[in-house]
Amino acid sequence: MLITGAASGLGLALAREYLALGDEVILTDVHADPPAAVQGLPGRWSYRRLDVTSDADWAAAAQDIDSLDILVNNAGIAVGGSLETTSMESWQRIVDINLLGVVRGCRALAPKLGRGGRLVITASAAGLVHAPKMGAYNATKAAAVALGETLDAELRPRGVSTSVICPQFFRSGLAESLSGDDPKADEMARKLLTRTRLTSEIIARRSVRGIEARRVVITPDALATFFWYSKRFSRVPFLGSTRLIGRAVARQG
């Protein structure tokens, strides 16, 4: 299997889970050499530098890899802020990584998946339910969910399933990628990403169960599941609650 964004956070936790199952894992990230956390991994693994925004890096990976059982498009960043405070540069960066990075990965390596293969995309609960002050992040993660559901329909006929992981905020390195366009929104995002009992390891363990069950949308925690089902089956109260949150955020500036 190959995992992007695997040097830390959920990518590294997923690698540990699959290595413990005896799988051979190719960990990829933007670092030239594997960081210390990767170097200490047990099991059968290799590391390659792969920037998900680089067509050349993806082409090289496709040339070097003959076949895969699992492809995990995990690399991503976070951007907080309202529409007017989020710069076009931040929009372009997050779209290039969170959405087009997944598209490049699927185009390059999905053809390497044989019958029984699994294609995995790390999205977010923000791709299912959309809170204020997170427009850029919400949009790219919603697009990732839509892409995953589309690819599931396209690839199932040849025996390849697609799963999209949609957790709520959990402790990972995602806070380090915040753009700084809106300091207040960034600070709130940091609190949500750090003041939670959920860790990358918990999310990875639960996600692997969903991947192995070939579930299309995986909500690996109770709150993400609650929000998603609330939106689906209690839409009017759900919209009312999100608008109340929007008004509260507006009052706080």
Nearest to 26 by CA among 80, 68, 87, 57: 68
pLDDT of residue 205: 97
Whole-angstrom distance, CA of residue 126 vs CA of residue 78: 11
Residue 28, φ and ψ in degrees, nearest 5:
-130, 150
pLDDT of residue 122: 97
In the chain, the domains with their CATH numbers are 2-251 (3.40.50.720)
* pLDDT exceeds 90 at position 249: no
Nearest to 17 by CA among 196, 172, 213, 200: 200
- Kindly report, residue by residue over 81-96, the tens digit of the pLDDT: 889 999 999 999 999 9
Give 195 or 214, the one with higher predicted confidence: 214
Whole-angstrom distance, CA of residue 208 vs CA of residue 228: 20
Q: How many helices (H) and strands (E) does the chain have?
A: 10, 7
* Contact status, residue 163 vs residue 215, Cβ threshold 8 Å: yes
Which positions are annotated as active-site residues?
A: 137
Ramachandran area for residue 214 (φ above 0: left; ψ -120 to 50: alpha; else beta): left
What average pLDDT does this structure show over 193-213? 90
* pLDDT exceeds 80 at position 243: no
pLDDT of residue 9: 93
Q: Give the H/E segment covering residue 118.
A: strand 113-122
pLDDT of residue 175: 60
Give 173 or 116, the one with higher predicted confidence: 116
What average pLDDT does this structure show over 180-196? 69
* pLDDT exceeds 90 at position 190: no
Residue 87, φ and ψ in degrees, nearest 5:
-70, 160
Mean pLDDT of the residues in the chain: 90
- Kindly report, residue by residue over 62-74, the tens digit of the pLDDT: 999 999 999 999 9
* pLDDT exceeds 70 at position 220: yes
pLDDT of residue 228: 84
* pLDDT exceeds 90 at position 215: yes
* pLDDT exceeds 80 at position 134: yes
* pLDDT exceeds 70 at position 213: yes
